[in-house]
Amino acid sequence: MIDDRIRQAFDSVQADEELITRTMTNVTERLTEPPQTPSHWPPPRLWWWLLGALVVVVGVLLMRAVLSTPTDTLTSPNSAPQPAASSAATPSTTHPFDSRVAYRLYLEVNPALELQLNADQWVVSATGLNSDGEAVIADLTLTQRDLETALNELLAQLASAGYLNSEALLVTDIASTEDASALMTTVQSQLTEQLAAAGSSPQVETQVVDEQTADLADSYSITPTKYLAIRDLLSVDPQATVEQYCDRSITEIRHLAYQHRHGQQGLPSPNSGSGSGTGAGAGSGTGQHQTGQGSTAHPGRHGSGGRPS
Amino acid sequence: MLDQAELSCAIRRHADTVRRVCALYSALTSDAEDVFQEVFLKFATHPGFESPDHEKHWLITVTMNTCKDLLKSARFKRSAPSDQLALYASESISDEVTTVLNAVRNLKTPLRETVYLHYYEGYTAVEIAQLLNSRPNTVYSWLARARKLLEEALHD
């Protein structure tokens, strides 16, 4: 009974003509369609692989670029820190450095040295006038730097070596055929500023000397101030020679001259008293002789500028 | 691949069988149309059949699988709520036929396929076991359970 009902029910189910027609049409259309090409070429997964490979390649190139950076441009923990002003102080490479000497600047605080400057007050050369002076500038790069930077490094080196104590005498001479007043002002302000910053308080003398005196001092490889001090000593001791006192300190030479004049020891030092302009150079230089930070120390009791024990 | 004339002839020859298998799963004509396209597209691209019986077995199996895929598809689940399964698209179907088809369609798979293959197509339990990839004794069991359920559903 159920068999017949099932058979009769399914007999009634037939595909109508419309369904057959649509099926024939659709199947025929799909069979005659050209083979579909992939809509994405390369396929999406390949795009991801290519992107990943590109990222890896860029990363490797960046790493190689970083690793191939010259080591001198990298900060090494063992390398000495560069002064902040040094890079800014380097003259522009677009203009050639003017190596013509316009000024000669001498410094002596036992170590004696000479800086030759161009008209822009940049260091053309640095020379040690004695063995201590040569030792001081041996570790420094002063050439082709501006005066401020050079003085900064020079004073830092002198201070670290212990030369700039309160009993020292720091002598600076400026020799030039041009007007050196501007340079003298610059040097004085730089010395005052940088010595104060370094906490040093040596007695400071700054003077401008003529070219002839500087040339004579150069011939003995001493500073003009020392040359003038020796000349002053020779005026009271005709038997003495310049060479004889080249290795003596300026304070010592002045003290000897004082002794010859007054014939006794223990009198007040010629350098004593603030603002005294009676140094050995008085009357021999150009008259621009200034003494700063007056000291009451007697030159005979200690060697001026000597390395402290 | 079949040419257009051969394809037309094959569709007309097997359209009713495919439509009946479709009726086991869905009463909607739109679903049957989708199944027809898929089945006869595969039929047209089939390399060839060993015999008419093989051809018919192949068509029934492919239609069943296509209908099952349709039932599992999200589109079918959205567009064919269960109450629509009780309706049949053809207006020429009588209440008696609708009642019997709904009773068969309400059987769980593979009972409904077994009922159709045995009571309408006349396949033996062994042939049904081959078609449904099962054992003959299991098919006998399915037939017994299906018959019992149909008697309960169609009992007046």
Question: Domain containing B129 — which CATH number?
Answer: 1.10.10.10
> Could you tell me if B87 lies within 8 Å of chain A, comparing CB atoms?
no
- Determine the length of chain A: 309
Q: How far apart are CA A220 and CA A248, in angstroms?
A: 13
Specify the pLDDT at position A148. 85
Asked whether the beta carbons of A210 and A244 are under 8 A apart, the reply is: no
Specify the pLDDT at position A73. 42
Confidence category of residue B139, pLDDT binned at 50, 70, 90: very high
Q: What is the CATH number of the domain that holds B7?
A: 1.10.1740
Res A257 pLDDT > 90: no
Chain B 96-155, residues with CB within 8 Å of chain A CB atoms: 96-97, 100-101, 104, 115-116, 119-120, 147, 150-151, 154
Q: A38 to chain B, minimum CA–CA distance in Å?
A: 21
Mean pLDDT in residue range B64-75: 79
- B81 and B108 share a domain? no
- B70 and B100 share a domain? no
Residue A45 CA, distance from chain mean position: 56
Asked whether the beta carbons of B19 and B32 are under 8 A apart, the reply is: yes
- Selected residue with higher pLDDT from B70 and A267: B70
Confidence category of residue A35, pLDDT binned at 50, 70, 90: low
Structure tokens at A307: 């390395």
Specify the pLDDT at position A309. 34
Res A301 pLDDT > 50: no
Specify the pLDDT at position B79. 57
- B84 and B106 share a domain? no
Mean pLDDT in residue range A11-20: 85
Specify the pLDDT at position B29. 67
Confidence category of residue A189, pLDDT binned at 50, 70, 90: confident
Look up the domain containing B58 and give its range.
1-89
Confidence category of residue B146, pLDDT binned at 50, 70, 90: very high
Q: B78 to chain A, minimum CA–CA distance in Å?
A: 23
Please report, rounded to a whole number, the percentage of residues in chain A having pLDDT higher than 70.
73
Provide the 8-state DSSP code for A205.
E
* Domain end point (choices B89, B104, B134): B89
Specify the pLDDT at position B88. 44
Q: Which residues pair with A170 in a beta bridge?
A: A204
Res B80 pLDDT > 80: no
Res A138 pLDDT > 90: no
Helix (H) / strand (E) element for A104: namely: strand A103-108
Number of inter-chain CB pairs under 8 A, A vs B: 90
- B118 and B147 share a domain? yes
Residue A116 CA, distance from chain mean position: 18
Specify the pLDDT at position B27. 63
| Residue pLDDT, tens place only, A38-93 | 556 666 778 888 999 999 999 999 998 888 765 444 444 444 444 444 444 445 44
Of A104, A185, A115, A199, give the one whose Cα is nearest residue A151.
Answer: A115
Structure tokens at A1: 């009974």
- B7 and B68 share a domain? yes
Structure tokens at A157: 């080196």
Mean pLDDT in residue range A271-295: 42
* Domain end point (choices B71, B89, B107): B89
Chain A 29-58, residues with CB within 8 Å of chain B CB atoms: 30-31
Domain coordinates in residue numbering, chain A: 94-300
Res B128 pLDDT > 60: yes
Confidence category of residue B26, pLDDT binned at 50, 70, 90: confident
Q: Is A19 close to B19, i.e. CB distance below 8 A?
A: yes
Res B140 pLDDT > 50: yes
Which range among A31-35, A83-87, B108-112 has the greatest average pLDDT?
B108-112
Which residue of B lies nearest to A4 if distances are taken between CA atoms? B119
Q: Per the omega criterion (within 30 degrees of 0), is the bond before A34 cis?
A: no
- Selected residue with higher pLDDT from A74 and A1: A1
Q: How far apart are CA A301 and CA A84, in angstroms?
A: 40
Mean pLDDT of chain A: 75
Specify the pLDDT at position B149. 92
- B25 and B60 share a domain? yes
How many domains does one find in chain B?
Answer: 2
| Residue pLDDT, tens place only, A98-134 | 888 888 999 998 899 999 988 888 899 898 888 888 8
- B79 and B143 share a domain? no
* Domain end point (choices B31, B62, B89): B89
Sequence letter at residue A15: A
Q: How far apart are CA A127 and CA A223, in angstroms?
A: 11
Sequence-separated (6 or more) residues with CB below 8 Å from residue B62: B39, B42, B43
Specify the pLDDT at position B6. 82
Specify the pLDDT at position A84. 41
Least confident interval from A2-6, A196-200, B82-86: B82-86
User: So what's the ipTM on this one?
Assistant: 0.83
